[in-house]
Structures are given as structure tokens and as C-alpha cells.
């Protein structure tokens, strides 16, 4: 057994583990803004619903007031026509004013029917606004809580990443340039994973059995071995147990 080979393999395995941990955190951190934004979006949707419901309620109220004013002006018209009845000269004129009054009353009655329907709509719209506003308050609180949790977790992860980066730099500095090159190449070829443990004769990354002769050579630790299938640097899992 070559002690330098063994030491290098242990270092590479730890480097691999550190890199994997860093990548996991980097991936997590890269999704943080989107998660925070997604929560804000949920709130925006409810805020938009509140605005729309409020607008609908205001429109109904405006319509109701307009109808109210119109019935008053019709009443005034009826009173005016009533007053004219006393001073008419001809029967024809009299009949004409009566018809005018009748028409006004029919018109007023139609508006009043519409107002009664509108009262129901107003009640429903007011209820809708109230419910949506309560939803908005609840959701705003929930969104803020969740966003704070995410920010807190992201802050902790950032600190963890900083310490892993430092560890990585220290491990990297320990490696001789030849090993750095081998690691870099294996990482590139291994789609980001340079080093694989072998346990029970199986490469733990590609899950292929190491052929018996290659396995014997690996266990001797006389030279660096590559997995014949995935070409990653392999090491017997037992050498880093406890590392």
C-alpha cells in the first residue's frame, strides 16, 4: 500500500464531499429569490381581487345613488303635473296630463324594482369585499412569516457556504498540482462528480460492479484507480470512514 496514494484519495474524497455540499447549498440559494417572489405573487393575486371587488361595489353604490336621485326627480315631476291638473281647460289636456303622470309612475316603479335587486347585489358585494380583505390580511401575515423564514434559512446557508468555501480552499491548497489536475479532469468528465466510493465491490456513483481484477488493484492502494464504467476516481469506502 502506498501511503501517499491513500492520503491523496482521502483528501480527494473529502474534497468531493465538500464540493457536493457546496453545490447543494448553491442550488438552494439560487432558488431563494424565486421562492420569495412566488410568495409575493400569491399576495398580489389576492390584492388584485380586493381591488376588483371594491371597484364592483363602488360601481353598484354609484348606480344605486343615481337611481335614488332619479326616483326623486320623477316624484317631483309627478307633483308638478298633479298641480297642473287643477288649472287645465280642456278634457284632452286633462287626459294628457293623467297619462304623463301614469307614465312617470310606471317608470319610477321599474327603477324601484331595479333598486331592490341591486340591494341584494350590494349586500353580496360588500360581503365579498369583507371576505377578501380578511383573506388579504391573513395571507399577508403568512407570506411575511414564510419569507422571513426563507431569508433566515438562506442567511444560515450562506454562512455555511462561506465556511465550506474556506474549507475547500484549504483542502485544495494541500493537494499537489498534479492531483488538482486529475480531480479537475475527473470532475469535468464525471458531470460534476469526480470521485466515487466503492463499497461491496460496487461503484457508489454509477452503481456498476468493479471487475474482480480492478477491485483487487483498488484494494491494494498502490496506484490511483478509475471506475472502468464511469471513469471517476475510485477509492475503497472504508478508507474515509470516520474522516
Contact residues for Zn ion, defined by CB under 5 A: 203, 206, 227, 229-230
Q: How many other CB atoms are there within 10 angstroms of residue 181's CB atom?
A: 11
Q: What are phi and psi of 153, to 5 degrees?
A: -65, -40
In the chain, the N- to C-terminal Cα span, in Å, equals 19
* Least CB distance to Zn ion at residue 242 (A): 24
Q: Which is nearer to Zn ion, 194 or 221 (CB)?
A: 194
* Least CB distance to Zn ion at residue 164 (A): 25
Q: Which is nearer to Zn ion, 28 or 215 (CB)?
A: 215
CB of 53 closer than 8 Å to CB of 129? yes
Beta strands 195-199 and 202-203, pairing class: antiparallel
Q: Which is nearer to Zn ion, 194 or 227 (CB)?
A: 227
Sign of the dihedral through C-alpha 141, 145, 151, 155: positive
Coil, strand, or helix at residue 64? helix
* Least CB distance to Zn ion at residue 26 (A): 24
Q: Which is nearer to Zn ion, 154 or 230 (CB)?
A: 230
* Residues ≥6 apart with Cβ < 8 Å to 30: none
Give 228's DSSP letter.
Answer: T
* Least CB distance to Zn ion at residue 226 (A): 8
Q: Which is nearer to Zn ion, 15 or 57 (CB)?
A: 15
Amino acid at each position: 500500500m502506498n501511503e501517499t496514494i491513500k492520503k491523496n484519495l482521502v483528501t480527494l474524497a473529502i474534497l468531493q464531499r465538500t464540493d457536493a455540499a457546496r453545490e447543494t447549498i448553491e442550488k438552494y440559494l439560487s432558488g431563494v429569490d424565486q421562492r420569495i417572489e412566488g410568495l409575493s405573487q400569491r399576495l398580489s393575486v389576492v390584492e388584485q381581487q380586493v381591488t376588483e371587488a371594491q371597484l364592483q361595489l363602488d360601481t353598484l353604490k354609484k348606480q344605486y345613488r343615481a337611481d335614488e336621485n332619479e326616483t326623486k326627480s320623477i316624484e317631483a315631476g309627478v307633483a308638478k303635473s298633479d298641480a297642473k291638473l287643477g288649472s287645465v281647460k280642456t278634457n284632452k289636456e286633462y287626459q294628457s296630463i293623467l297619462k304623463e303622470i301614469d307614465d312617470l309612475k310606471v317608470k319610477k316603479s321599474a327603477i324601484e324594482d331595479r333598486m331592490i335587486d341591486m340591494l341584494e347585489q350590494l349586500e353580496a358585494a360588500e360581503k365579498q369585499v369583507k371576505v377578501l380583505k380578511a383573506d388579504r390580511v391573513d395571507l399577508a401575515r403568512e407570506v411575511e412569516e414564510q419569507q422571513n423564514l426563507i431569508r433566515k434559512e438562506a442567511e444560515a446557508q450562506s454562512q455555511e457556504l462561506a465556511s465550506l468555501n474556506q474549507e475547500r480552499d484549504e483542502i485544495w491548497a494541500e493537494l499537489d498540482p498534479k492531483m488538482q489536475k486529475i480531480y479537475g479532469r475527473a470532475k469535468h468528465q464525471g458531470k460534476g462528480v469526480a470521485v466515487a466510493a466503492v463499497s461491496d465491490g460496487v461503484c457508489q456513483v454509477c452503481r456498476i460492479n468493479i471487475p474482480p481484477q480492478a477491485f483487487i488493484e483498488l484494494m491494494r492502494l498502490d496506484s490511483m484507480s478509475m471506475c472502468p464504467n464511469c471513469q471517476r476516481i475510485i477509492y475503497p469506502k472504508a478508507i474515509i470512514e470516520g474522516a
